[in-house]
Each structure stands twice: as structure tokens, then as C-alpha cells.
């Protein structure tokens, strides 16, 4: 608490002439939030994230030196992206897109292609989970046009496009986008977004999950989906790993469950989904709930005797994080 008070005092004291130390403090605060976001329940980080955005916006509304203004716009773009993800996690895609558009304006202010591409990746993510695969593809392709091979966002955009094509049932385009992501991974060079880490970077483990999530849509790819899903589940098995994220871990388990349903393995499907159904309400973000619904839909399309598992999914979905008081 005393450290937070000291941080606020430093910012207020420097508003008339922001110091390098104050900007560094804001950067560090945003970096910690970006790292914490995929690892901590949303209620634990949302208030701090709102405060961080308010601080950056307040400072930008005052007169700042050009170098400091550029840094602040960069950080405003990141906090806006994080709030876009938070709104999505709370099942509010309209608010998510509003935050994302504002974040993109901030990226334009600093002419930062990496930030532009990352925000397009967030817009693709929001569209995908909002059941708008054509928009997911469009945003991913738009973001890809901002980059060559700098920053891991290029890999994220390729596999995001793959998920959109898979949701439309287009095996060929989905496979092609997966291959582009693999090729991009070999050439990619981390940028200043990757240096922030957390949700601002796209590592190999997340790539495994996105590939599994793509293939899980395609009945003809059930065996490959099971393989990628299992790799992702195992990779997320270490909660202390640098890429661990409870939402992506849950998604990988759901994808493995779907793949096993396609292979007629009901017991294996239930085993794969069991850790997800044990998540507390504060971790039942939108993507996790929708992933379990995909498992539910897969069960309904088979003749497997799955009533117990279907009922468990129904109960799980009744208390998402969006239903908790804020």
C-alpha cells in the first residue's frame, strides 16, 4: 500500500513536468499488469487496470514533452488492449471493441506497427469468441499487413486467422494459415511489446493451444487435434511456467475433450474437461465458458451416453465471472 501511495505521489508531483522516473514507474506498473493478466482471476486485476488507464489518460491530457508523450501513448495503447480483453472476458464484445479502437488510435499516435498488429489480434480474438469468424479473419489479415516478421504478434495473427477459417469449416485455408504461423515462428524477432511479456507476447505454448483450437473445429482433423491438444495440456501443466495462463489452459483441455469425443472416447473426454469444470467462478471468463459450450455441442452431435457430462457443463455455465458483483 505504501508503494502504491509513493507511486501516485510521484505522478502527481510530476504532472507539470513529467520526469523520466515517473514514466518508468508507469511502464513498470503496466508491465506488471500485462504479466499478471493471464495468470490471475479478472477481479484481482481489473480495478488496477482501470486505475492505470486513468493515470495515463490524465497525464496525456496535460502538456508533455514529445518523448514522454510518445511513451505514454504506447502505454495507453497497451492498457486499452488489456481493457478490451477484460471486456471480452466479461462477455461484453461491444465494450471490448470500443477499448480496442481507442487503443488503435493511441498506436497511430506513435506510429507503432507492432502495437497496431497486437490490437488487431485482440479484435480478431473478440470477434472469434463472439461467433463472428469473418470479422476474426479480417482483423487478423489487417494486422498481418502492419508487420513483416518483427514481434511475435505475427504468429498470433496467423493462427488467429486459422481459427476463423476453421470455424467456417474451411480446412484448406485453416491449414495454410497454420503453416504460415509455423514459418513465421522460425523468422520472428521479439520487439518492445514482447519485452513487456505476459499477454503482450505470443509464445510457443500459446501457439500449440491456438493450433489445437483450430483443428478441433474440423472433424477430419480429430487425430491431429488430439495430438496438439495433448501437447498444449502438457505444456500448461506447470503453473509456474512463464507462458502459463489459466484461460488458455482451460481452452486446451476443452479442445482435447472435443477431439476425444470425435474419436468416440467419452471417458477420455470427461477426464480432459474435468479440471475446467472445477474452476471457481472468478476464473470462468467468457472464452472458458464458450469452450465448454463447444464441448456440449460436440456431445449433442454424437450418440455417446453423455447426459452426466452435459449436465455438469450446464451447471458450470450458470455462474460465469460476468455474473459476479463488481
Tell me: the pLDDT tens digits for 189-242? 889 999 999 999 999 999 999 999 999 999 999 999 999 999 999 999 999 999
**Average pLDDT for residues 26-52, to the nearest whole number?**
95
Query: At 150, is the secondary structure helix, strand, or coil?
Result: strand
pLDDT at position 16 is 53
Tell me: the pLDDT tens digits for 67-117? 899 999 999 999 999 999 999 999 999 999 999 999 999 999 999 999 999
Is 321 within 8 Å of 284 (Cβ atoms)?
Answer: yes
**Average pLDDT for residues 152-166, to the nearest whole number?**
97
pLDDT at position 145 is 85
Mean pLDDT of all residues belonging to the chain:
92
CA-CA distance, 264 to 269, in Å (whole number)? Answer: 9
CA-CA distance, 249 to 270, in Å (whole number)? Answer: 16
- CA 280 to centroid of chain Cα atoms: 19
- Provide the CB-side half-sphere exposure for 82 (13 A, CA): 33
- Provide the CB-side half-sphere exposure for 26 (13 A, CA): 31
**Average pLDDT for residues 148-174, to the nearest whole number?**
93
Q: Which comes out higher in pLDDT, residue 7 or 143?
A: 143
CA-CA distance, 15 to 11, in Å (whole number)? Answer: 6
Task: For residue 310, give every residue at least 6 positions away whose Cβ sits within 8 Å of its Cβ, in sequence order, or none.
Answer: 296, 299, 300
Torsion of CA 51, 151, 41, 107, to 10 degrees: 30
Query: Whole-model pTM?
Result: 0.92
Tell me: the pLDDT tens digits for 255-314? 999 999 999 999 999 999 999 999 999 999 999 999 999 999 999 988 888 899 999 999
CA-CA distance, 129 to 133, in Å (whole number)? Answer: 8
CA-CA distance, 61 to 81, in Å (whole number)? Answer: 19
In percent, how much of the chain has pLDDT > 70? 94
Closest CA to 81 of 52, 61, 58, 55: 52
CA-CA distance, 49 to 82, in Å (whole number)? Answer: 8
Q: Is the pLDDT of residue 49 over 90?
A: yes
CA-CA distance, 85 to 37, in Å (whole number)? Answer: 9
- Provide the CB-side half-sphere exposure for 326 (13 A, CA): 15
Domain residue limits, the chain: 1-111, 131-202, 203-326
CA-CA distance, 302 to 284, in Å (whole number)? Answer: 26
pLDDT at position 2 is 46
**CA dist list (Å): 152 to 118, 122, 212:** 9, 14, 18
Amino acid at each position: 500500500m505504501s508503494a502504491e501511495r509513493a507511486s501516485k505521489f510521484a505522478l502527481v508531483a510530476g504532472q507539470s513536468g513529467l520526469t523520466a522516473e515517473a514514466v518508468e514507474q508507469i511502464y513498470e506498473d503496466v508491465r506488471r499488469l500485462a504479466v499478471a493478466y493471464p495468470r490471475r482471476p479478472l477481479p484481482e486485476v481489473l480495478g488496477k487496470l482501470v486505475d492505470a488507464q486513468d493515470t495515463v489518460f490524465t497525464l496525456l491530457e496535460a502538456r508533455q514533452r514529445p518523448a514522454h508523450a510518445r511513451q505514454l501513448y504506447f502505454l495507453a495503447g497497451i492498457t486499452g488492449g488489456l481493457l478490451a480483453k477484460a471486456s471480452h472476458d466479461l462477455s461484453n464484445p461491444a465494450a471490448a471493441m470500443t477499448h480496442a479502437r481507442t487503443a488503435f488510435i493511441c498506436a497511430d499516435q506513435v506510429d507503432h506497427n507492432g502495437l497496431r498488429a497486437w490490437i488487431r489480434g485482440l479484435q480478431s480474438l473478440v470477434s472469434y469468441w463472439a461467433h463472428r469468424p469473418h470479422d476474426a479473419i479480417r482483423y487478423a489479415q489487417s494486422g498481418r499487413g502492419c508487420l513483416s516478421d518483427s514481434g511475435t504478434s505475427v504468429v498470433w495473427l496467423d493462427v488467429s486467422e486459422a481459427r476463423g477459417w476453421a470455424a467456417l469449416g474451411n480446412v484448406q485455408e485453416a491449414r495454410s494459415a497454420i503453416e504460415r504461423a509455423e514459418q513465421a515462428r522460425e523468422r520472428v524477432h521479439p520487439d518492445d511489446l514482447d519485452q513487456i511479456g505476459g499477454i503482450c507476447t505470443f509464445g510457443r505454448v500459446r501457439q500449440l493451444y491456438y493450433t489445437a483450437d483450430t483443428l478441433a473445429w474440423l472433424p477430419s482433423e480429430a487425430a491431429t487435434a488430439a495430438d496438439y491438444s495433448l501437447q498444449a495440456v502438457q505444456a500448461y501443466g506447470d503453473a509456474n511456467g512463464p507462458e502459463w495462463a489459466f484461460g488458455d489452459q482451460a481452452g486446451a483441455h476443452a479442445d482435447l475433450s472435443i477431439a476425444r469425443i470425435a474419436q468416440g472416447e467419452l471417458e477420455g473426454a470427461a477426464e480432459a474437461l474435468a479440471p475446467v469444470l472445477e474452476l471457481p467462478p472468478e476464473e470462468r471468463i467468457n472464452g472458458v465458458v464458450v469452450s465448454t459450450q463447444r464441448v456440449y455441442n460436440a456431445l449433442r452431435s454424437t450418440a455417446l451416453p453423455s447426459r452426466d457430462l452435459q449436465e455438469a457443463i450446464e451447471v458450470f455455465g450458470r455462474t460465469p465471472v460476468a455474473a459476479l458483483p463488481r
